[in-house]
Chains A and B, each alone.
Chain A
Amino acid sequence: MKRVLVTGLGWVSSIGNDKATVSDSLRKLTHGFEAVTWLGNPKITTKVLGTVKGFRIPTPEWRDWSWPDHYTIPPEILRSLAPHGLYALCASLQALADAGLRTADIGNCETGLFTASAGSPYMLHHFLGQMHQAKAERGNPMGVVSSISGTLNFNLATYFKIQGAVCGYVSACASSNHALGHALDDIRLGRHKRALVVGAEEVQAESILPFAGMRALSVNPDPDTASRPFDRRRDGFVGTGGAVALILEEAGEAKARGAHIYAELAGWGQAGDGYNVAMSHPEGRGLATAMERAIKDAEIDARDVDYVNAHATSTPVGDRSEAIALKRVFASAERQPWVSSTKALTGHGLSMAGALETAICALCINEKFIPGCAHLEDIDPACEGLNLPRKSLSEAPAVVLNNSSGFGGSNVCLVLRSWND
């Protein structure tokens, strides 16, 4: 079976819009949160957001948007983009440049596009409002393609002229790990030589605040402590958005062109909880199985794992179930991996989370460090026994797991490995 390498990364995230800034934030445990007032209403109890810097989206009208000057975004693509589509396009262009590829290099049959987002509730709300106002007698012709789930793959495939697989994943917070897993399989099977994998979400109220109704968001107003996975006082997640793009390449192709290699994407596993529409299984049943399957797929042993980038979003139920799952998987291993959740710094990127954290794992392997558990002071007894570093470590992880879990009990685990071939 062919092997698959990560050769390019692109970032639009709360902790940085380029590799160097993200790396610095991870090493120094500098978070990307700011206090915000939603919808002009100070009574809303959610006060903290992982903001996207350098972009301005004041209205749904693209003519009002701004983005960093070094990206040239033509009107013919802007007119059908949602805000997270703009982030995704910028992240994709950055990933291509990072990989040493030109746009023309992926406009072919041998490149696939695998995306993940929840669509744009912000744009959808706007367009449906227009529709109701006009009593459905007229509507913006770009309303559908710039708002529904799939808007990322519609637009990116068009812009980059992708002619291989073009698809999107909607398993909520497991979505972009699903996108990565399926991209990995397609390259392994020889269907593609390259894949552009992108996860993106928006930070508008329409994307984040519906989670308040589920009591899933932190109501801690302090940006310095609102997101604290595995801590006894955690009270919910802090939302974030942006976009992260990864370039995956078949190893022979990447080596032949002398590509810079971050890491190998060595395997993956998925499993359902079979339990609840929104809550994870109390003992992390599906997630543990997903990890075991990923370890088997990568043909490694649990004792080989140096670091786990946990899904832990800082919710009371989710972190606890993941801790139990981790203890089950590594119970018999001679050595325990380090575990941290970088959502303590970034916030929870929902459909984007898997892509963001897989990119973080690739960066950590390449730059030889392990991110610490930011904001962790008082470990939840249910999470004791995990190897939770309080600071980032200057240790080179050779094998890393990245966990993601989504609604309906969808769990995906990826394995990344240092590449020494």
Chain B
Amino acid sequence: MSNAPDPATPAATSPLPEKLKRLPTSAAKNYATFCSSHDEAALTQLIIAVLVDHSPTRAGGIETWGDHIRLVEDVGFDSLAIAETVFFFEDLFNISINNEEIAQLGTIGELRAFIMRKAAVLAA
């Protein structure tokens, strides 16, 4: 049996994490949906909401951008903004993301896939 915390169980019964209260209400809803049913579409929407919130320049249209969009070159993230985003997910899902893994996160799609993989492992 894994000692890794299961994000689905506490989220289904615990109050909404404090940091989600500052995002649009749809983010909290998507978080709850993912935690109760492991719905990948809900997680995708949650990730996009977090990216929008952490986008340093508040670039318009990020919600509709595709997976190929690069976080640094296209969206204007700097390494600290990426680290902040990673910290947000680490804290939300109680996971750890190491430096080598962060270095692989160049695009929105890579970040989304990575978070999904990490969260899915924990939720399994």
A64 to B: closest C-beta gap in Å? 7
Main secondary structure of the interface of B (DSSP, over half): helix
List of B residues within 8 angstroms of A140 by Cβ: 84, 87
* Set B22, B57, B84: member contacting A142, Cβ < 8 A: B84
Interface residues on A, range: 10 to 19
B67 beta carbon closer than 8 Å to chain A = no
> Mask for B34-61, Cβ within 8 A of A = 1, else 0?
0000000000000000000000111000
Q: Chain A contacts of B96 at CB under 8 A? A: 137-138
User: B6 in the interface, Cβ–Cβ < 8 Å?
Assistant: no
What is the distance, in angstroms, from B97's C-beta to the closest C-beta of chain A? Answer: 8
Write the B64-87 contact mask toward A (1 if CB under 8 angstroms, else 0): 000000000000000011011001
A61 CA to B21 CA, complexed, in Å: 12
Decide if B58 touches A141 in the complex (CB within 8 Å).
Answer: no
> Chain B contacts of A74 at CB under 8 A?
58
Check B22–A141 contact: CB distance below 8 A: no
Given the contacts A63-B22, A137-B96, A138-B96, A75 and B84 also touching, CB distance less than 8 Å: no
A64: nearest chain-B partner, CB-CB: B22
> Is B91 part of the binding interface, using a Cβ–Cβ cutoff of 8 Å?
yes
Report if B90 contacts A (CB, 8 A): yes
A-chain residues with CB within 8 Å of residue B81 when the two chains form the complex: 76, 79
Contacts of A63 in B (CB 8 A): 22
Q: Tell whether, in the assembled complex, residue A75 and residue B56 are in contact, meaning their CB atoms are under 8 Å apart.
A: yes
CB pair B56 A141 closer than 8 Å: no
**By the criterion CB–CB under 8 Å, are A75 and B22 in contact?**
no
Digitize A63-106: 1 where CB-to-B-CB distance is under 8 Å, 0 elsewhere. 11000000000111001100000000000000000000000000
Asked if residues A142 and B80 are in contact (CB atoms below 8 Å), the reply is yes
Q: Considering only CB atoms, which chain A residue lies closest to B89 in the complex? A: A138
A121 within 8 A of partner (CB): no
The 8 A CB mask of B1-39 against A (1 = contact, 0 = none) is: 000000000000000000100100000000000000000
- CB closest chain-A residue, reference B91: A138
Q: Which of B57, B87, B90 has the most CB of A within 10 A?
A: B87
Q: Which residue of chain A lies nearest to B83 when distances are taken between CB atoms in the complex?
A: A141
Given contacts A61-B22, A75-B58, A76-B57, contact A141 B84 (CB under 8 A): yes
A64 to B81, alpha carbons, bound, how many Å? 19
Give the CA-CA distance A137 to B87 in the complex, in Å.
11
Is A221 part of the contact surface with B, judged by Cβ < 8 Å? Answer: no
> In this assembly, does A223 line the interface, its C-beta being within 8 Å of a C-beta of chain B?
no
- Report the separation of the CA atoms of residues A141 and B81 in the bound assembly, to the nearest whole angstrom: 9
- Considering the chains assembled together, what is the distance between the CA atoms of A80 and B96 in angstroms? 22
Inter-chain contact B87/A141, CB cutoff 8 Å: yes
Contact B56 A76 (CB under 8 A): yes
Report how far A165 CA is from B57 CA in the complex, Å: 28
Contact A139 B87 (CB under 8 A): yes
Bound-state CA distance A142–B56 (Å) is 13
* CA–CA, A235 and B30, complex, Å: 56
Residue of A nearest to B22 (CB): A63
Q: In the complex, how many angstroms separate the beta carbon of A317 from the nearest chain B beta carbon? A: 44
| Nearest-CB residue, chain B, relative to A139 | B87
Find chain A residues with CB under 8 A from B87 CB. Answer: 138-141
- Cα(A61)–Cα(B19), bound, Å: 9
Residues from 126 to 164 in A contacting B, C-beta threshold 8 Å: 134, 137-142
Contacts of A142 in B (CB 8 A): 80, 84
Distance between Cα atoms of A139 and B90 in the complex (Å): 9
Report the Cα distance A64→B23, complex, angstroms. Answer: 11
Please report the C-alpha to C-alpha distance between residue A139 and residue B19 in the assembled complex, in whole angstroms.
14
> What residues of B have a CB within 8 angstroms of the CB of A137 in the complex?
96
How far apart are the CA atoms of A98 and B108 in the complex, in Å?
43
Most central of A63, A64, A79, A138 by chain B CB within 10 Å:
A138
Q: How far is the CA of A332 from the CA of B19 in the complex (A)?
A: 64
A142 to chain B, nearest CB (A): 7
Residues of B within 8 A of A61 (CB): 19, 22
Neighbouring B residues of A64 by C-beta, 8 Å? 22
A79 touches B84 (CB 8 A): yes
The residue of chain A having its C-beta at the shortest distance from the C-beta of B88 within the complex is A140
Interchain residue pairs A-B with the least CB separation, the first 10: A141-B83, A76-B56, A63-B22, A138-B90, A141-B80, A141-B84, A137-B96, A140-B87, A141-B87, A138-B87
Given contacts A76-B57, A79-B56, 20 further A-B pairs with CB under 8 A are: A61-B22, A64-B22, A75-B56, A75-B58, A76-B56, A76-B81, A79-B84, A80-B80, A134-B91, A137-B96, A138-B87, A138-B90, A138-B91, A138-B96, A139-B87, A140-B84, A140-B87, A141-B80, A141-B84, A141-B87
A sample of 12 inter-chain contacts (CB < 8 A) reads: A64-B22, A75-B56, A75-B58, A79-B56, A79-B81, A79-B84, A137-B96, A138-B87, A138-B90, A141-B83, A141-B87, A142-B84
